[in-house]
């Protein structure tokens, strides 16, 4: 059986040309961008282009892009650096309880340092309760965070509305958005969202792993997490990873240019997937109908997701049971939605790219049905 890869939220296959660009930067334009000689200038020019490509993909200026090692570092820099820079103004922080761990864990660290953290639960559908989120904000709130596309159930948050309403109650707060699962898939710009910082990651859109970026709106102050050289305005000092940044720049530009066409194709895959799921007794969808078509979260109550994952894997069908960073832990997102234990313990996340096919979806459901026939049901229903 041919390999069926349906875990694209965890990571995507690296685009061949993006990989070639990275190799080219390692073998030819390998200079340090901070060096004053010709090799350094060549590397700096390539890095400048990559910065402009990522900036164009999210609708900001090149000077507002800080390259990082990925989405996790970008989230940490925005949240830790943003909170510490505003400590004298207040101590309250508001975020969704369904954020990615790279947002929740830095926030819990801040809470341990004396900040007041308020986590807002979602609606039962998984969607953001805008009124509850805004109600949690007060004049003491210095930081608010909400991801644009939830990485487990695909919910799309009304970021522009949240940012606007939150600032009415606390004009000086920093609004951070995790845009990792949105870039190249959902049409947006940081200007239209009205956010102060936004994180993105390369390996979610066919760039190599180990590179991401943080948008920092001009005039927004963050304290750095690292100290050393003066690279990237001192916000992220250290020699830039030019090969990966340039591969990311290419991938971001390509994804932005193909976003509309790819989204239309994936919407067709999503509709096909939902229709197929409805024909398999015992399967239920956890993602709401309003979710991004790139993510489908479903459950087969009575069959533990870890067991089913390995059954699917034996047939070279690859999905996940939630965020890859959770390493199989029970989903805090589905728990926050109030789903029954049986649905949570049996959840599978299927995530697409435009390269997937309806034939792969057919194989997934064929093998899933086989698993439901052969595997021993768990006691959690």
Three-class DSSP category at 117? strand
Place of tokens 């200026």: 61
Q: Which two tokens stand for residue 20?
A: 């070639």
* Active-site hit among 246, 284, 296, 325: 325
CB atoms near residue 24 (< 10 Å): 15
Q: Classify residue 334 as exposed, middle or buried by CB count within 10 Å of its CB (0-12, 13-18, 19+).
A: buried
Question: Among residues 75, 325, 68, which one has the least CA distance to residue 177?
Answer: 75
Three-class DSSP category at 306? helix
Residue-by-residue DSSP string for 24-87: HHHHTS-S-TT-SSHHHHHHHHHHHHHHHHHHHHHTS-GGGEEEESSHHHHHHHHHHHHHHHTT
Edge-first strand order for the sheet with 92-96 is: 65-68, 212-216, 197-201, 174-178, 141-145, 92-96, 116-120
Distance of CA 65 to the CA centre of its chain: 17
Q: Classify residue 88 as exposed, middle or buried by CB count within 10 Å of its CB (0-12, 13-18, 19+).
A: exposed
Q: Classify residue 347 as exposed, middle or buried by CB count within 10 Å of its CB (0-12, 13-18, 19+).
A: buried
d(CA 282, CA 353): 26
Per DSSP, the chain holds a count of helices (H) and strands (E) of 13, 12
Angle among Cα 300, 340, 106 to the nearest 5 degrees reads: 100
φ/ψ region of 282 (left if φ > 0, alpha if ψ in -120 to 50, else beta) reads left
Q: Are 248 and 65 in contact (CB under 8 A)?
A: no
Q: What is the DSSP letter of 320?
A: B
Q: Is 325 a residue of the active site? A: yes
Q: Classify residue 278 as exposed, middle or buried by CB count within 10 Å of its CB (0-12, 13-18, 19+).
A: exposed
Catalytic sites, residue numbers = 325
């Amino acid at each position: 059986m041919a390999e069926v890869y349906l875990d694209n939220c965890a990571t995507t296959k690296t685009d061949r040309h993006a990989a070639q660009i990275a190799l080219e930067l390692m073998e030819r334009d390998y200079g340090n961008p901070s060096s004053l000689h010709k090799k350094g200038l060549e590397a700096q020019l390539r890095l400048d282009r990559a910065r402009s490509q990522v900036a164009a993909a999210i609708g900001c200026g090149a000077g507002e892009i800080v390259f990082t090692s990925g989405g996790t570092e970008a989230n940490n820099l925005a949240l830790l650096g943003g909170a510490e820079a505003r400590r004298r103004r207040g101590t309250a922080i508001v975020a969704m309880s369904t954020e990615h761990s790279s947002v929740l864990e830095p926030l819990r660290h801040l809470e341990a340092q004396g900040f007041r953290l308020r986590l807002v639960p979602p609606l039962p559908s998984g969607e953001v309760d805008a009124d509850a989120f805004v109600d949690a904000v007060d004049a003491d709130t210095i930081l608010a965070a909400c991801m644009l596309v939830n990485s487990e159930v695909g919910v799309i948050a009304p970021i522009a509305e949240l940012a606007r309403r939150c600032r009415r109650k606390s004009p000086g707060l920093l609004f951070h958005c995790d845009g990792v699962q949105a870039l190249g898939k959902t049409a947006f710009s940081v200007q239209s969202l009205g956010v102060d910082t936004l994180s993105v990651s390369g390996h979610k859109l066919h760039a190599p792993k180990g590179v991401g970026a943080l948008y920092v709106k001009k005039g927004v102050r963050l304290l750095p997490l690292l100290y050393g050289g003066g690279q990237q305005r001192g916000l992220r000092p250290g020699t830039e990873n030019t090969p990966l940044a340039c591969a990311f720049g290419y991938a971001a530009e390509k994804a932005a240019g193909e976003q509309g066409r790819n989204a239309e194709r994936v919407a067709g895959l999503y509709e096909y997937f939902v229709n197929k799921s409805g024909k398999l007794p015992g399967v239920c969808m956890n993602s709401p109908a309003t979710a991004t078509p790139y993510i489908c979260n479903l459950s087969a109550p009575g069959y533990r997701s870890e067991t089913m994952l390995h059954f699917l894997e034996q047939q070279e069908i690859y999905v996940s049971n939630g965020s890859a960073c959770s390493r199989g832990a029970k989903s805090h997102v589905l728990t926050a939605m109030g789903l029954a234990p049986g649905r949570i313990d049996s959840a599978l996340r299927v995530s697409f790219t435009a390269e997937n096919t309806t034939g792969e979806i057919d194989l997934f459901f064929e093998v899933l049905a086989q698993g439901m026939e052969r595997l021993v049901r768990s006691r959690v229903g």
